[in-house]
Chains A and B, each alone.
Chain A
Amino acid sequence: MVNFRGIIGFFSGIKVDIKKNPYLYALGIPGFLFFAFFSYLPMFGHVLAFKKYRVSDGIWGSEWVGLDNFKFFFSGHDWINVTRNTLLLNTLFLFMTTVIAIAIAVFLNEIRSEVFKKLAQSVIFLPYFISWMVISLMVFALLNFDAGIINRTLVSLGMDKVEWYQDASKWPAIMSIVYVWKFAGYNSIIYLAAITGMPQEVYESAKVDGATRFQMIIRITLPMLAPTVITLVLLGIGRIFFGDFGMFYGIIGDNPALYSTTDVIDTFAYRSLRQLGNFSMSSAIVLYQSMMGLVTIGLFNFIVKKINKDYSLF
């Protein structure tokens, strides 16, 4: 049952609102146009998931094939592999970044010397500012078979060199470290802001009662950080089906030796599109991803709302 009256009422309501505030709406027009062209109209591309796309026929002219693209996608093993990699790696990233960012924030908060604190924070925040392309070269300088610092160090310690770029089993850990390296500083700023905003009286009365700094961290700082942590983790879970394309494609690139642990939905969809030219297949993958993402964020928001209304995202 579609509530037509409600929809009509909504549109006439918007019309009245535009008439009342023409200048304000005019300010929004460029933004609407950009949204239309780069976010909303491209959503029609999802239609291709149900078609056999031919460039000459265009999106609308191409032949409908029902669920064939999905059947093809789900009949192979790739979808299991990329889904597992996406979920597993994102979970690792989220968990490790959260723990380390909280630790950095709590530690920085304990440091009394302003100069040291500022300097340390600046250095830890710095990796956020560089692209995955640059990071990719840094990883290469560390892990390169011949010239890499890590292999050179292993050799000087009398150990064997490791073929890092051939051994897929090591990459979940490597990617997690790289992710933490780039984002822990950024996240620690959020947590540090939350800590700084806490009421100081609690700490003072704890001090009067003879609490150690360690006790204060465990009993006061961490519990009070909980709402911020939960919000950030929820945001992370909401994006758990979306791999960081720049990161994976930048660092791994087209290296099939590492696909088994590092191929994520996004890189898989990209290869289907750009290298195989299979638009329909790529559409089916991306639609699957978007739907799963939507379901995840809806589900988690629902659960969180049940537990505590204040934590829900919308």
Chain B
Amino acid sequence: MSNLALNQRTKIRASSSDTILKAFIYISIVIVALLCFIPFWIVFINSFASEGAIMQDGFTLIPSEFSIDAYKFILRGAQVWRSYGITIFVTVVGTALAVMVSTMLAYLIASPKVKYRNVIGFMTYFTMIFGSGLVGFYIMIASWLNLKDNILAMILPYVVNPFYVFILVSFFRDLPQELSESAMIDGANDMITFFKIALPVSKPVIATVSLFYALVYWNDWWLALLFIDDYQKQPLQMMIRKLMANVNMAQYVGGTTNYGAVIPTMGIQLAIVCITIGPIILLYPFVQKYFVKGIMIGSVKG
């Protein structure tokens, strides 16, 4: 009897402590989420603020006066379209190439038939812990391969990323061996087995890795910074950089200096950021789960 009462009392105490904890947790998470969101909001909403409002009130959560001048100014010029084209080209071609090469390499490393798979795996891993060094890398691409101001310089260096190769390796390792064995009995060689059997069943993980690569290419400006001096070949990310530095904005954006009105300098910087991250934000709700899956595979197996 007394035991029961005691139990009851602990339960009540437990539940009131749980309520406090729960409230604390919900509030903390809401605050963290807000902190993550606010910078996006500031950039987004102020890109629609008039230049006068930014000058007068600074960046605000809700601008006092709206205007789409910044967008008008950017979109009328030629540079944004060029840079957008470059970014899309680099992302699409880069991702396709990267996924193909990485999947094939991963299949080799994952195959239990290959005696030296661990050596190859280590060679892949080693590039993560011992860098080639900036100078060798720079000379290789700029002098030996002669890729200065060449779009390929923004694509080729990222084609094999060890981390994403290992995500693929761990997926291929888990494929049932019977799949490839039965194909081999039917007379297929390893290459046919790879293309006809392994690839089709690996669609989910390939989708995941593609998205990771696409994100790398979309967001990169390091390669452009090193190798692309010709502004006509620079991607969107570099356009942000250029616009934040003090360039002759009218000439850079529009290819003309004949812009009558005052140039909305601040607004343009914000607008180009929105234009750059727009596609990511729009796709985000649909692709987020693939990234979560990829991170989980990578962390559990890697």
How far, in whole Å, are A178 and B281 apart by their CA atoms in the complex? 20
Q: Which residues from B are CB-within-8-Å of A116?
A: 26
B interface size (C-beta, 8 A): 104
Nearest CB in chain B: distance from A194 CB, A: 8
Considering only residues 261-314 of chain A, those with a C-beta below 8 Å from chain B are 266, 269-270, 273-274, 279, 282-283, 286-287, 289-290, 293-294, 297, 314
Chain A positions within 8 Å of B33 at CB level: 119-120, 123-124
Does A226 have its Cβ within 8 Å of any Cβ on chain B? Answer: no
Q: Which 9 A-B pairs have the closest CB atoms?
A: A45-B136, A31-B105, A42-B136, A42-B132, A131-B219, A23-B190, A28-B108, A147-B58, A27-B104
Residue B185 is within 8 A (CB to CB) of chain A in the complex: no
Total interface residues on A, using CB and 8 Å?
101
What distance in Å separates the Cβ of B289 from its nearest Cβ neighbour in chain A? Answer: 10
A261 CA to B21 CA in the complex, in Å? 39
Interface of B is mostly: helix
Interface residues of A in 223-261 (CB under 8 A from B): 228, 232, 238, 242, 245-246, 249-250
Given contacts A34-B101, A39-B132, A290-B130, contact A13 B58 (CB under 8 A): no
Contact A107 B131 (CB under 8 A): no
Q: How far is the CA of A126 from the CA of B38 in the complex (A)?
A: 12
Q: Is B187 an interface residue (CB 8 A)?
A: no
Answer whether residue B4 sits at the interface, using C-beta atoms and an 8 A cutoff: no
Are A294 and B40 interface neighbours, CB within 8 A? no
Residues of B near A21 (CB, < 8 A) are 111, 113-114, 190
* Contact residues in A for B220 (Cβ distance below 8 Å): 131
A34-B159, A45-B135, A130-B277 known; A137 vs B60 contact (CB < 8 Å): no
**In the complex with contacts A130-B277, A149-B59, A294-B129, A273-B29 CB distance below 8 A:** no
A157 at the interface (CB under 8 A from B): no
Across-interface contacts of B137 in A (CB, < 8 A): 38, 42, 45
Known: A28-B105, A246-B221. A186 touches B136 (CB 8 A): no
Binds B, one of A73-81, A82-90, A168-176, A207-215: A207-215
Chain B nearest CB from A233 CB (Å) reads 13
- Given A31-B108, A104-B29, 16 other A-B residues pairs in contact with their CB atoms under 8 A: A30-B104, A35-B124, A38-B156, A55-B143, A104-B32, A107-B28, A126-B281, A129-B215, A133-B241, A134-B237, A137-B269, A141-B59, A149-B60, A190-B299, A245-B222, A273-B134
CA–CA, A45 and B190, complex, Å: 37
Question: A210 with B14: in contact, given A25-B108, A31-B104, A149-B42 (CB under 8 Å)?
Answer: yes
Contact indicator B101/A124 (Cβ below 8 Å)? no
Complex alpha-carbon distance, A112 and B293, angstroms: 21
Report the separation of the CA atoms of residues A242 and B83 in the bound assembly, to the nearest whole angstrom. Answer: 30
Q: Does B115 reach chain A (CB closer than 8 Å)?
A: yes
Partner of B21, one of A110, A126, A266: A110
Chain B residues within 8 Å of A40, by CB: 127, 132
Q: Is the CB of B222 within 8 A of A124?
A: no
On whether the beta carbons of A148 and B58 are closer than 8 Å, the reply is: yes
- Known A130-B280, A297-B129: A111·B134 in contact at CB below 8 Å: no
Q: Is the CB of A147 within 8 A of B240?
A: no
The distance from the CB of A244 to the nearest CB of chain B, in whole angstroms, is: 11
In the complex, the answer to whether A193 meets B296 with C-beta atoms within 8 Å is: yes
Q: Does A115 contact B (CB under 8 A)?
A: no
Nearest CB to that of B125 among chain A residues?
A314
User: Which of B11, B28, B120, B292 is within 8 Å of A210, CB to CB?
Assistant: B11
If A21-B114, A24-B111, A37-B145 touch, does A30 touch B105 (CB 8 Å cutoff)? Answer: yes
| Per-residue A-contact encoding for B276-288, CB less than 8 Å = 1, 0 else | 1100110011001
Q: Which of B117-151 contact A (CB under 8 A)?
A: 120, 122-125, 127, 129-141, 143, 145
A55 CA / B22 CA spacing, docked (Å): 65
Bound state CA distance, A233 and B185, in angstroms?
46
Distance between A24 CB and nearest chain B CB, rounded to angstroms: 5
Collect the chain A residues with CB atoms within 8 Å of residue B111's CB.
21, 24
- Output the least CB separation between A61 and chain B (Å): 13
Q: When the two chains form their complex, are residues A45 and B21 in contact, meaning their CB atoms are under 8 A apart?
A: no
Say which residue of A26, A35, A131 sits within 8 Å of B191 (CB atoms).
A26
Tell me, in angstroms, the Cα distance from A104 to B102 when the chains sit together: 33
| Residues of A close to B221: CB separation below 8 A | 131, 133, 246, 250
Known pairs A23-B189, A31-B105, A290-B131; A213 contacts B21 (CB<8 A): yes
Q: Which residues of A contact B270 (CB under 8 A)?
A: 137, 141
Docked complex: A105-128 residues within 8 A CB-CB of B: 107-108, 110-111, 116, 119-120, 122-127
Residues of chain B within 8 A of A92, CB atoms compared? none
Q: Are A41 and B288 in contact (CB under 8 A)?
A: no
| Contacts A31-B101, A137-B43, A147-B58; A43 near B244 (Cβ below 8 A) | no
Q: Is B104 within 8 A of A141, CB to CB? A: no
Judge whether A152 and B116 touch: CB under 8 Å. Answer: no
B247 within 8 Å of A (CB atoms): no
Q: Are B58 and A293 in contact (CB under 8 A)?
A: no
B300 at the interface (CB under 8 A from A): yes
Interfacial residues of chain B within 20-57, with CB under 8 A of chain A in the complex: 21-22, 25-26, 28-30, 32-33, 35-37, 39-40, 42-43, 46, 54-55, 57
CB distance from B258 to the nearest CB of A (A): 27
For A129, list chain B residues within 8 Å (CB): 215, 219, 277, 280, 284
Give Cα distance in the complex from A44 to B240, angstroms: 34
Enumerate chain B residues within 8 angstroms of A42, measured Cβ to Cβ: 132-133, 136-137, 139-140
Q: Min CB distance, A280 to chain B, in Å?
A: 8
Inter-subunit contact A127/B36 (CB<8 Å): yes
